[in-house]
């Protein structure tokens, strides 16, 4: 899912990570491979966030999904694998995009 500016800010406030910028050189290839998402590069690879079906008062829950781990210790290449839900959960305060689901 593509996060709104408000959701990006809320996610940053909770776990201090920033998304890849819109002018990131490989972004078009990532969208082609994985769909339209807000992408994050972290110490363990490429992540996206997806809403869960867990109801939360005043908002929505999302989980981190690692879609491509680093293939080397140098962290210069990613390898594809089955998406893996990590233990990271985010609470988004209710936003227009979240309400639309």
- Confidence label for 95 from pLDDT (cuts 50, 70 and 90): low
Neighbours of 49 (CB within 10 A): 22
* Confidence check: pLDDT of 39 > 70: yes
Print the domain residue range for 76: 5-100
* Confidence check: pLDDT of 67 > 60: yes
SS3 32: helix
Q: What's the number of domains the chain is made of?
A: 1
Q: What is the pLDDT of residue 94?
A: 76
Higher-scoring residue by pLDDT: 67, 99: 67
The answer to whether the beta carbons of residues 95 and 7 sit under 8 Å apart is: yes
pTM of the full predicted structure?
0.86
Q: Which range, of 10-19, 53-62, 68-77, averages the lowest pLDDT?
A: 53-62
* Confidence check: pLDDT of 54 > 50: yes
């Amino acid at each position: 899912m593509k996060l709104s500016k408000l959701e990006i800010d809320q996610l940053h406030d909770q776990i201090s990570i920033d998304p890849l910028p819109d002018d990131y050189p490989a972004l078009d290839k990532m969208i082609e491979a994985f769909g339209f998402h807000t992408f994050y590069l972290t110490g363990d690879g490429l992540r996206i966030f997806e809403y869960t079906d867990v109801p939360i008062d005043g908002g929505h829950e999302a989980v981190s999904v690692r879609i491509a781990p680093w293939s080397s210790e140098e962290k210069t290449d990613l390898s594809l694998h089955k998406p893996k839900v990590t233990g990271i959960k985010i609470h988004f305060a209710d936003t227009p995009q979240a309400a639309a689901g």
